[in-house]
Amino acid sequence: IEASRLLIYNAALAKESAKGTGGRYTTEASMAKLFASETAMFCAHQAVQIHGGMGYSKEMPVERYFRDAKITEIYEGTSEIQRLVIARNELGLR
């Protein structure tokens, strides 16, 4: 979770730096989004596993956390799209 936070801070710093220079920060933003959303999904999945069958019940807040974590992998570009963006930028294909 701390690594996700640091990647987000790095992306925010890259965005601030790009304001004056017109530079790009797409790679940093994609890395932060990908890692944070996958970390959230991993943590939520582990929480559901700990709670067993009750983890899927709407009576437990962990069910909501799992749904919310899953949607973070989808909106603003799926994890696969984020990987493509990162690869293209790092390989200089774009």
| Choice among 16, 76, 80, 90 that is catalytic | 76
- Region for residue 92 given its phi and psi (left: phi exceeds 0; alpha: psi -120 to 50; beta: otherwise): left
59 is catalytic: no
Burial of 40 (0-12, 13-18, 19+ CB in 10 A): buried
Question: What is the distance between the alpha carbons of residues 24 and 15, in angstroms, rounded to a whole number?
Answer: 8
Query: Looking at the annotation, which residues are catalytic?
Result: 76
